[in-house]
Amino acid sequence: KLSDADKAKLKNMNAELARLGTKFSQNVLAEVNASYIVVDDVKQLDGLSAGQIAAAAEAAKARKLDGKYVIALLNTTGQPALTNLTDRALRQKIHETSVSRGSKGGEYDNTALVSRIMTLRAQKAALMGFPNYAAYGLGNQTAKTPEAVNAMLGQLAPAAVANARREAADLQAMIDREQKAAGKPGFELQPWDWAFYSEKVRQAKYNFDESQLKPYFELKNVLENGVFFAAGKEFGLSFKQRTDLPVYHDDVTVYDVFDADGSQLAIFIFDPYARASKRGGAWMNAYVSQSGLTGDKPVVANHLNIPKPPAGKPTLLTWDEVTTTFHEFGHALHGMFSNVKYPYFSGTAVPRDFVEFPSQVNEMWADEPTILANYAKHYQNCSAMPQALLEKVIAASKFN
C-alpha cells in the first residue's frame, strides 16, 4: 500500500505521462503531415497508375504547388508508392523521409519525449514494487511476466528471421537478374527496394499484379458483400445503412446492426479515408460502450486510412486494405457482442495481448473461398473474379 506521499508522487507521474503521451501523438500527426515529398517531373512517377498520379497532382494543388506532384506519407513505416515507383532514388527519398519522422530534429522530434516517458515509467514501476516497467505492465495481461513474453518471442524470432532471409534472397536474385538483363551494374537490396521487388517476385511466382485485383475490390462492395456477408454467415447478423443520423464527416457511413433474432445489436460507423487530421493506421473505437447497468447498446467505429480517390473515381482496394477491413471489423464485432454489466469491462477492454484474437480470426474470412467469391466482383460490370485469378489471390495471400 502506498503512503500518502507516494500516492501524491504517483498522481504527478500519471499526470505528466498523460501530458507527454498526448504531445507524442500530436507530434506524430504533425510530422506526417509536414513530411511530404515534392516531385517536379511526372517522369519520376513512372510505375504509378493514372489514378495515383492524379492524386499526387491534387495533393500538390492542395499545398499550393500547382503543376508539381506531392507524395503524401501515410502514418506507417512502409509507404504504398514504394511498391510501384521505378525511380530508385525517389524510393530511397520516400523511405528515408518516412523512417526519419519523429527523430530528425525540429519541432516535432519525439526523442526527448520518449526518453522522459521511459524515465517516468521506470520510476512508476519502482514505486509500485516492480523490478521494471515491463513487469508492471504485464501483471494484468495474459502473458503475466516478461519471461513468458521473451520465451514466446524466442520461439518466433528465429522462424521469422529465417523467412525474411529467404525472401531477401529471392528479391536479391530478382534484382541481379534484372540488372544483368538490362546491362546495368548490380546493387544490394535495401529497405526501399523491398516492396518494389516483392511485387515483382509475386508477379513472377503467381503471374498477377495488384493492379489486376483492385477492380474487384471496390470499397463498399468489400464491406457489404464481404465483411458484412461473412458476419451474416457466421453470426446471423444483418446490416442496414442509415442516412438520417448526423455524421462528423461526409465520407462516414452509418449502419444499424441487427442480431440473428432481428433485435438491434449495435450501430456501426465506417470511416475509411485518410485525412490530414486523422492519426495513422487502422483501428476500432467504441463511442458508446455496451453496459447492462446503463442499458446502453454499443456504437462502434472502424477508422481506416485508405487514400481517397480523386472525385468521381471508385475506391479500389489493395489486397492488404481488404484484409485490414476484415481485421478491423473483427474488433468491431468484439465491441458489438459485448455483454457485460459495467462499461469499464465492455467490449475490447480485455488484456492487450488478447485483444487481437477476434480481429485475427475475422481476417481469415477475407480469402475463404465462398466469402471471397461473394465480394470479389468487378466494379464496372459486377462480373465475378475469374476463377484462375481467385485461386492466385488465395495462393499469394500466403506470400510475404
Q: Give the footprint of Zn ion on this chain (CB under 5 A).
A: 356, 359
- From residue 286, give the alpha-carbon distance in Å to each of 59, 267, 278, 332: 31, 10, 17, 8
- For residue 328, indicate whether it is catalytic: yes
Closest to Zn ion by CB, 302 or 359: 359
Q: Distance between CA 216 and CA 192 in Å, rounded?
A: 28
- Please report how close the Cβ of residue 282 comes to Zn ion at its closest, in angstroms: 8
- Please report how close the Cβ of residue 349 comes to Zn ion at its closest, in angstroms: 15
Burial of 284-293, coded b for 16+ CB within 10 Å and e otherwise, reads bebebbbbee
- Please report how close the Cβ of residue 367 comes to Zn ion at its closest, in angstroms: 17
Residue 365's closest CA among 327, 333, 318, 314? 327
Closest to Zn ion by CB, 110 or 359: 359
Closest to Zn ion by CB, 122 or 361: 361
Torsion angles phi and psi, residue 381, rounded to 5? -130, 10
- Please report how close the Cβ of residue 186 comes to Zn ion at its closest, in angstroms: 39
Q: How many residues does the chain have?
A: 400
Taking the CA atoms of the chain, what radius of gyration do you get in angstroms? 24
Contact between residue 210 and residue 317 where contact means Cβ atoms under 8 Å apart: no
Closest to Zn ion by CB, 95 or 331: 331
- Please report how close the Cβ of residue 324 comes to Zn ion at its closest, in angstroms: 9
Q: Distance between CA 254 and CA 266 in Å, rounded?
A: 11
CB count in 10 Å sphere of residue 319: 16
Q: Which residue is nearest to Zn ion (CB)?
A: 359
Contact between residue 132 and residue 122 where contact means Cβ atoms under 8 Å apart: yes
Closest to Zn ion by CB, 330 or 343: 330
Q: Which of 31, 218, 328, 363 is catalytic?
A: 328
* Active site positions, annotated: 328
